[in-house]
């Protein structure tokens, strides 16, 4: 699918749209001799303001490399902005071409999205490139204001009820892990049909409705971990890395006592043949080696075959 507009180009960042740039647009962008003033608003209350090995906070939102562009995308998402406009400097010869590459790379954008707070995560980003070299991101967020307000109220209530300040740090995380597993059912219907009456693919489904799939479990735990003061992000395995599934998988990564460790609530809350509820800690605060060992058995689990180039803290 190609979409070329005379006044600019619109690119869907989470789609597979191929766009050819107008040579006049490229020329005009390279001829900009001044540095237009950027409007940099503060981030919202869910901005993490953290640097990671794969993406870092942008210092000035002026790109001079491919990595700078990735950092701008991450920073825009992390700030929770709905829209943001920046410019390609004339020194960056391949800036517009690199934006095209990034915009067509759905996988990279999905991984970048995993580094931000769930309430700032996006379902879609549209990129508009003007003839003068302006690049504008328009972001569609996953959670609306009403959902966020309800989730804030309920997670605060749960923490006040369950977390004693005197608890050891390990026990604080374990308490939340166990609470979610014991109070949430895996949404088998959505997993099989991709449709459900529950919002189980989000934290709303898990915390408010009591039903979840891996996306919902992971967002819910990420919200709790952040409230408890732990640096964390989500890790995803894309479908092509799982031979027996058409969908990917996602779980949590948390910096605990100076080490990055995995927590997979989905696999610690298995769907049983006997209809009983089970609570496991097989994937609770484990390192790479322990996760690989846990995945071995009669049937090898492939859901954790993630690409470490996106999650370098675990390389």
Domains, in order of start, for the chain: 9-141 (no CATH), 145-314 (3.10.620)
pLDDT value of residue 157: 98
pLDDT in tens, 253-309: 999 999 999 999 999 998 766 567 789 999 999 999 999 999 998 778 899 999 999
User: pLDDT tens for residues 109-153?
Assistant: 999 999 999 999 999 999 998 877 799 999 999 999 999 999 999
Residue 273: the pLDDT is: 65
Strands ordered across the beta sheet of 249-256? 232-237, 249-256, 259-263, 284-286
Q: If you count DSSP H runs as helices and E runs as strands, how many of each does the chain have, helices first?
A: 11, 10
Q: How far apart are CA 20 and CA 29, in angstroms?
A: 15
Convert 148-186 to b/e letters by CB count within 10 Å (16 or more is b): beebeeebeebbeeebeeeeeeeebbbbbbbbbbeebeb
Q: Which pLDDT score, from 0 to 100, does residue 274 have?
A: 58
pLDDT of residue 3: 25
* pLDDT score of 189 more than 80: yes
Quick one: which of 143, 144, 152, 148 has its CA closest to 121? 143
Cα separation, 50 vs 65, whole angstroms? 20
Q: State pLDDT tens for residues 20-64.
A: 344 444 444 444 444 678 889 999 999 999 999 999 999 999 999
The residues, any chain, with a CB within 8 Å of residue 107's CB and separated by 6 or more, are 238
Q: How many Å apart are CA 27 and CA 32, to the nearest integer?
A: 9
* pLDDT in the model for residue 4: 24
- What count of other Cβ atoms lies within 10 Å of the Cβ of residue 64? 13
C-beta of residue 76 within 8 angstroms of C-beta of residue 139:
yes
> Rg of the chain over CA atoms, in angstroms?
21
Q: What is the pLDDT of residue 33?
A: 43
Decide: 4 and 22 in contact? Cβ < 8 Å: yes
pTM of the model: 0.88
Residue position matching structure tokens 């972001």: 139
Categorize the per-residue pLDDT at 197 as very low, low, confident or very high, splitting at 50, 70 and 90.
very high
Give the DSSP H/E element, type plus range, for residue 152.
Answer: helix 145-162
pLDDT at 272: 62
User: Tens digit of pLDDT for each residue in 84-98?
Assistant: 999 999 899 999 999
122 Cβ neighbours under 8 A, 6+ residues apart:
77, 113, 139, 140, 141, 142
Helix axes 214-227 and 145-162, enclosed angle (nearest 10): 60
Q: Is the dihedral of CA 120, 141, 20, 129 positive or negative?
A: negative
Q: Please give the average per-residue pLDDT across 237-244, as a whole number.
A: 80
Quick check: helix, strand or coil at residue 197?
A: coil
Asked if 202 and 123 touch (Cβ cutoff 8 Å), the reply is no
pLDDT at 238: 86
- Give Cβ neighbours of residue 42 (< 8 Å, ≥ 6 apart): 79
Tokens for 159, please give them.
Answer: 């923490």
What is the C-alpha separation between 45 and 108, in angstroms, rounded?
25
- Please report, for residues 100, 210, 270, 272, the alpha-carbon distance to residue 195 in angstroms, rounded to integers and kept in the order given: 32, 16, 20, 21
């Amino acid at each position: 699918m190609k979409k070329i507009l005379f006044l600019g180009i619109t690119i869907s960042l989470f789609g597979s749209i191929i766009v050819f740039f107008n040579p006049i647009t490229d020329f005009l962008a390279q001829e900009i001799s001044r540095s237009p003033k950027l409007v940099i608003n503060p981030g919202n209350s869910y901005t993490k303001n953290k640097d990671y090995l794969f993406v870092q906070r942008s210092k000035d939102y002026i790109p001079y490399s491919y990595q700078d562009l990735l950092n701008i995308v991450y920073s825009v998402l992390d700030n929770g902005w709905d829209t943001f406009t920046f410019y390609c400097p004339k020194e960056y010869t391949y800036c517009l071409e690199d934006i095209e590459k990034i915009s067509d790379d759905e996988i990279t954008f999905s991984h970048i999205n995993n580094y931000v707070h769930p309430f700032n995560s996006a379902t879609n980003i549209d990129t508009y490139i003007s003839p003068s070299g302006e690049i504008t991101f328009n972001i569609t967020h996953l959670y609306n204001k009403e959902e966020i307000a309800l989730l804030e109220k309920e997670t605060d209530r749960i923490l006040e009820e369950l977390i004693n300040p005197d608890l050891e740090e390990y026990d604080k995380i374990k308490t939340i892990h166990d609470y979610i597993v014991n109070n949430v059912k895996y949404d088998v219907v959505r997993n099989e049909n991709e449709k459900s009456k529950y919002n189980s693919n989000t934290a709303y489904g898990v915390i408010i409705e009591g039903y979840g799939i891996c996306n919902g479990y992971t967002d819910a735990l990420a919200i709790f971990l952040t409230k408890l003061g732990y640096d964390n992000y989500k890790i995803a395995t894309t479908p092509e890395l799982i031979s027996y599934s058409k969908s990917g998988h996602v779980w949590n990564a948390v910096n605990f006592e100076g080490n990055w460790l995995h927590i997979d609530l989905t696999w610690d809350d298995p769907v049983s043949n006997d209809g009983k509820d089970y609570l496991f800690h097989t994937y609770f605060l484990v390192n790479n080696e322990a996760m690989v060992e846990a995945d071995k058995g009669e049937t090898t689990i492939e859901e954790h075959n993630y690409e470490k180039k996106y999650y370098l803290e675990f390389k």
